[in-house]
Homo-oligomer: A and B are copies of this chain.
Amino acid sequence: MRETPADAEIRSHQFLLRAGYIRQNTSGVYSYLPLGKKMLRKIETIVREEMDAIGGSEVLMPSLQQAELWKETGRWYTYGPELMRLHDRHEREFALGPTHEEVITSLLRDEIKSYKKLPLTLYQIQTKFRDEKRPRFGLLRGREFIMKDAYSFHDTKDSLDATYEDMKQAYTNIFTRLGLNFRAVIADSGAIGGKDTHEFMVLSDIGEDTIAYSDSSDYAANIEMAEVRMDYPAPEAGEQPIAKVETPGVRTISEISEFLGVQPADCVKTLVFMVDDEPVIVLCRGDHDVNDIKVKNALDAKVVELATPEQVKEATGTDIGSLGPVKLPTGLKVIADHAVRSMRNAVTGANEDGYHFKNVNPEKDFSADAYEDLRFIMEGDPSPDGVGTIKFARGIEVGHIFKLGTTYSEPMDGKFLDNNGREQPYIMGCYGIGVSRILAAMAEQFHDDNGLAWAKEMAPADIHLVPVNIKDDDQRQLADDLYHLLTSYRYDCLYDDRAERAGVKFADADLIGLPVRITVGKKAAEGIVEVKFRKTGETVEWKKEELTDKLRSFFG
């Protein structure tokens, strides 16, 4: 493909298209051409080896899933339009599987009735379907894609913990073998609960998630989940008496800090959240941002949303922009981030349009019902594991491991007899890897301005063999000889025997990105070829006789 498709927003996707790895069939639906399919198979082989190594057994479950199963867990009703649905000739309803918790639980509940058969880990590599509202970035968010999904079944939480750790190590092995720059990131467990859940993120500027990681340890967390563990200094001495100041038209933290000539860190930010439909006041330092997931966890709530201006007015009698913690209506719950406690002579809204307080001091001028970790972590904060300083990066999620507990086994009646003869629901884990998404993430990591540039361990083929002029007998002969020689040494060779100009062939070789290009040109009669290494751009001239030895020392 010579031209860049107009709707290909990111470089890696453009290169995968232009170099002929993939083609779009329709929005979010792709075909894998031979080079793309080769990459998929290599990725799958690594995934399979690592799953087998931790005792996983490969299965294959159907894409057609009876609606009845999804009704047992209620997800038929809650999954939304992402779930592709159809019916058969007898008007029976089916889901086109985006995931297989229901199917595997229904299979196992008929088979595994005793703790003696547990634990058990099953996995599959399979095409999945999810009707994304806005498919984008090519393979990164498609509607038909390839996943490895694994499910484990246990009689105890300890057993689940052990498999979870095995899985975490297996995933680490997989992404390491793929050559990816990734982090295992503490993630949000969403609606399902359970504390341990990790996302595996490939670091990339186009990632949709922000990762907070330590510059000196392997700590990493989705920014939504990163704990803030700081010993804020005790407040300095020198409390001054609270004073009201006129601040006409001043509403935001940046406006008030500029108006009064103070730092945002000297101001208290006052927000109202609707927590399970009740208003709650949340305070943080002016240079910080409140993390609603932490608010939700702190209050053990189901739904947390920022209050609308109307809800703020109703709860506090005050307009947004003038809110402050001093003299709030009684009965309103107030929680504050730890950082607020150590503030001294702070600035806050006065709950009165056009006025602020200065010299506000916590536990003197206002009090909070609780001080909790409520804010987003920031670059420069100490890492929560005590080692190093936090930095931010963007990440592409390529894997997710998850302790499900009994979320599926309870409603689906997936039960076994424990060693006391008591019926118990399976304790489950689930573990996903986006196989086709990995291809996109790899392309994002392994490219330069001229195209893809794969690592030698993980490329669709090893060598791009390019005779400059296929009509020159010496070149053709040497190229043919080399093709057979290299193939006999088990190198996977792409042989460009087209009658195209050398420039076109070189550009295509760069685009496709095999680790080594061997050019057969003017010195063919002397048995000399040019070898170019894609990653470094380095070129050398090697004689035919020394080629295999030297290639072996490169490929190892």
- B23, B41, B58, B143: the one contacting A88 at CB < 8 Å is B143
A368 CB within 8 Å of chain B: no
Q: Is the CB of A89 within 8 A of B133?
A: yes
Residues of B within 8 A of A86 (CB): 84-86, 96
Name, among A40, A60, A111, the residue most crowded by chain B CB atoms within 10 Å (CB to CB): A60
Residues of B within 8 A of A122 (CB): 34
Instruction: Report the Cα distance A32→B100, complex, angstroms.
Output: 14
Instruction: Report the Cα distance A498→B117, complex, angstroms.
Output: 9
Task: Provide the A105-118 mask, 1 if CB < 8 A to any CB of B, else 0.
Answer: 01100110000100
Stretch at the interface among A61-69, A357-365, A386-394: A61-69
Q: Is the CB of A89 within 8 A of B30?
A: no
Residues of B within 8 A of A103 (CB): 25, 31
A92 to chain B, nearest CB (A): 8
A237 CB within 8 Å of chain B: no
A213 CB within 8 Å of chain B: no
A548 CB within 8 Å of chain B: no
Instruction: Report the Cα distance A529→B103, complex, angstroms.
Output: 41
A131 CB within 8 Å of chain B: yes
Residues of B within 8 A of A30 (CB): 62
A8 CB within 8 Å of chain B: no
A67 to chain B, nearest CB (A): 10
Interface residues of A in 282-340 (CB under 8 A from B): none
- B38, B60, B63, B85: the one contacting A37 at CB < 8 Å is B60
A192 CB within 8 Å of chain B: no
Residues of B within 8 A of A81 (CB): 89
Given A63-B144, A66-B25, A103-B25, A58-B34 contact (CB < 8 Å): yes
Q: Is the CB of B32 within 8 A of A59?
A: yes
A29 CB within 8 Å of chain B: yes
Given A58-B37, A86-B84, A89-B81, A29-B133 contact (CB < 8 Å): no
Nearest opposing residue in chain B for A145, CB measure: B62
Instruction: Report the Cα distance A25→B62, complex, angstroms.
Output: 8
A78 CB within 8 Å of chain B: no
A129 CB within 8 Å of chain B: yes
- B60, B65, B143: the one contacting A64 at CB < 8 Å is B143
A26 CB within 8 Å of chain B: yes
Nearest opposing residue in chain B for A25, CB measure: B62
A407 CB within 8 Å of chain B: no
Residues of B within 8 A of A63 (CB): 63, 127, 129, 144
Residues of B within 8 A of A144 (CB): 62-64
A538 to chain B, nearest CB (A): 31
A51 to chain B, nearest CB (A): 12
Instruction: Report the Cα distance A3→B499, complex, angstroms.
Output: 65
A57 CB within 8 Å of chain B: yes
3 residue pairs, one from A and one from B, having the closest CB atoms: A86-B86, A34-B57, A32-B60
Sample (30) of A-B pairs whose CB atoms are under 8 Å apart: A23-B110, A23-B111, A25-B61, A25-B62, A25-B103, A25-B106, A26-B64, A26-B66, A29-B62, A29-B64, A31-B59, A31-B107, A32-B60, A32-B61, A34-B59, A34-B122, A36-B59, A36-B60, A37-B60, A40-B60, A64-B144, A84-B86, A85-B86, A86-B96, A88-B131, A89-B131, A96-B96, A116-B498, A116-B499, A126-B127
